[in-house]
Amino acid sequence: MSANKWFLVTNTENLKYYFDCNMMVERQAFEGNAYLRDIQAERPKGYITLNDQTNLTDALELSISEDPNLESCIVEVDLSGLESASVYGRVSEKQYEFGSLDQILRSDVDEILIPAPLPIGIIKTVFLKNAKASDLLKSELTRLYGVLPPKYITQNAKLFKSGKQGSLPSELDIDSSVSCISLNEIADIALDYKKAEALGGALALAYYQTKNGSLSCELFKKFVERSDEPISDTIIAFQNWLVDANHTSELDSFYKRVLDIASSESDFGTIQHDLLNSFENKDGIPDAYTKVAGLAKRLRQLVDRTYEGDLDTYFSKLINHYESEEEGGSKPFLLISMIFVRDHTETALKFYHESFTEEDYFLIAAFYGLFQGIKRVPERVRSVSGLRNWVSHHMVVLLHKTTGARVTIQKAPVQPPLIYQKYIKDTPNSKLQDNLQKFVLFMGMNEQEVLSWELNTKEEYRVKGSAITFSTRPKLVAKVLSSNFEKSMRHKTIKDADELFDMNEALDIFKA
């Protein structure tokens, strides 16, 4: 990989959109009028333009060309963990197509075009011209996306004055296998970011829902890994929708129809309207699920606020009816009904019902993530330490698979820990026992209901009054009463919760 430092030049508004998308993107990813002209407008679609320090001036001018009140920013990126099968480099004002990033070992390459998107985690530093602007940006991004690394956003006025130094003389002959091409001959790469954003939303919310118990952790693992082991039919349908797999089952086809409609709009009222029309007219609904037309009558009553029963009764009847027909048969109808009951992701995550299983809660989270996407994941979830980079990696991998794997990432970021797999378990370790007790206190649980203590001794012991004397050191084991613990967690984080669970606070207890 080149020793050159590479910079993406844009404005802070576009940069904030990158964080909203959870990827470094080009203009095809922007919705409506969100994109503000920068150097990407002068380059082929589907590529990220990176400049070296000698070639920043034109890009800086373009970054504020729509409005001089915009703040330019220079983003240093680390490409060392990436591989690319197709990258363009500019040498002496000419574009050359290189077979890999490793071929760009020349100090006379002053600009490269690398296929988009790129993971948000390759951002090393964001430079702004003055301290006031950098402090404002740091405050806003920290509030929205959690704690940032030290000096991640900083001031560097000198970099903004580095100026264009002109093309350097070519140090090496261009290899005959590397073709020269003009900028307008580079073909655009058409990118549809929707499925990648859907995956990001589903991964973030599904991770959040692992707080519910060990089953949620297992479902999360299967969802991420696309395991061949038998798992929920609903999760398989979600996975197939994400990768546009052939929908061999009618359940797959049904979920595809629902998710295609739900993910096409951001307004819940429009989503509800389009779903009801599809259900009532049986439009695109596979034969095995045309019975959803009957459910649509109740759903329309919910929309019109003419349903006379309460939601507890509604879901109890729905679950009992469809489960009596087929085990697991209530899942798709339960998820669809949630769209008509809760029109915000946060309130959906806090919706409690006695008949909901742990799997139901997990599926609700993943389902809302799929059609709402990463941009509408609540701040409390998006700010979980380490989650942003890990999710971004998976989003980028998915999108590059659809465009020929032009970019690969050599090493994935570490996944944030799952508390039930790493921390909520039996332990003889006194420090881990202390952390378990601190967590139980933090959650407001009754320790006697969720933990028990077992004393193991190998040799003889004597009891005299209130004193017990052991011949060898005994081992005290903290035992997690799993069923009670998980039930209590669901009560504390869903039924009795005023706000979303703070995963960072919980993880900090265990990391102490």
> What average pLDDT does the segment 222-228 reach?
84
Pairing verdict, β 153-155 and 123-128: parallel
One domain, residues 148 and 199: no
Separation in Å, CA 376 to CA 38, 205, 343 = 25, 10, 12
Q: Tell me if 481 sits within 8 A of 451, measured CB to CB.
A: yes
pLDDT in the model for residue 175: 58
Whole-number Å distance between alpha carbons of 319 and 118: 43
One domain, residues 363 and 495: no
Longest dimension (CA), the chain: 93
Helices 358-372, 250-262: crossing angle, 10 deg rounding: 50
One domain, residues 175 and 208: no
> What average pLDDT does the segment 432-445 reach?
96
One domain, residues 140 and 198: no
Give the DSSP letter string of 307-354: --S-HHHHHHHHHHHHHHHSTTTTHHHHHHHHHHH--SHHHHHT---T
One domain, residues 458 and 347: no
pLDDT in the model for residue 134: 95
Whole-number Å distance between alpha carbons of 501 and 509: 14
pLDDT in the model for residue 2: 46
Q: Letter for the amino acid at 247?
A: H
Residue 12 inside a domain? The answer is yes
Beta bridge partners of 454: 477
Q: Tell me if 84 sits within 8 A of 100, measured CB to CB.
A: yes
pLDDT in the model for residue 480: 97
Mean predicted lDDT score pLDDT of the chain:
91
> What average pLDDT does the segment 27-40 reach?
96
**3-class DSSP state of 80:** coil
Residue 434 has pLDDT above 90, yes or no: yes
User: Which of 471 and 237 is assigned the larger pLDDT?
Assistant: 237
Whole-number Å distance between alpha carbons of 379 and 384: 9
297 Cβ contact list (under 8 Å, min separation 6): none
One domain, residues 179 and 217: no
Domain end call among 383, 412, 433: 383
Give the rounded percent of residues in the chain with a pLDDT score beyond 90: 75
Whole-number Å distance between alpha carbons of 281 and 464: 80
One domain, residues 118 and 252: no
Give the DSSP letter string of 385-445: TTHHHHHHHHHHHHHHHTTT--EEESSPPPPPPPHHHHTSS-B--HHHHHHHHHHHHHHT-
Whole-number Å distance between alpha carbons of 41 and 126: 21
One domain, residues 373 and 448: no
One domain, residues 212 and 81: no
Residue 176 has pLDDT above 60, yes or no: no
One domain, residues 68 and 202: no
Query: Kind and range of the H or E element at 233?
Result: helix 233-242
pLDDT digits (tens, 9 = 90+) for 275-289: 999 999 999 999 999
Domain end call among 121, 154, 185: 185
pLDDT digits (tens, 9 = 90+) for 101-160: 877 766 688 899 999 999 999 999 999 999 999 999 999 999 988 889 999 999 999 999
pLDDT in the model for residue 168: 47
User: Which of 90 and 396 is assigned the larger pLDDT?
Assistant: 396
> What average pLDDT does the segment 223-248 reach?
86
Residue 397 inside a domain? The answer is no
One domain, residues 41 and 160: yes
111 Cβ contact list (under 8 Å, min separation 6): 49, 50, 51, 52, 55, 89, 90
Domain range enclosing 494: 423-511
Domain end call among 383, 413, 439: 383
For the chain, how many structural domains are there in total?
A: 3
160 Cβ contact list (under 8 Å, min separation 6): 56, 60, 72, 74, 127, 129
Cα-trace Rg, the chain: 27
Residue 170 has pLDDT above 70, yes or no: no
pLDDT in the model for residue 1: 41
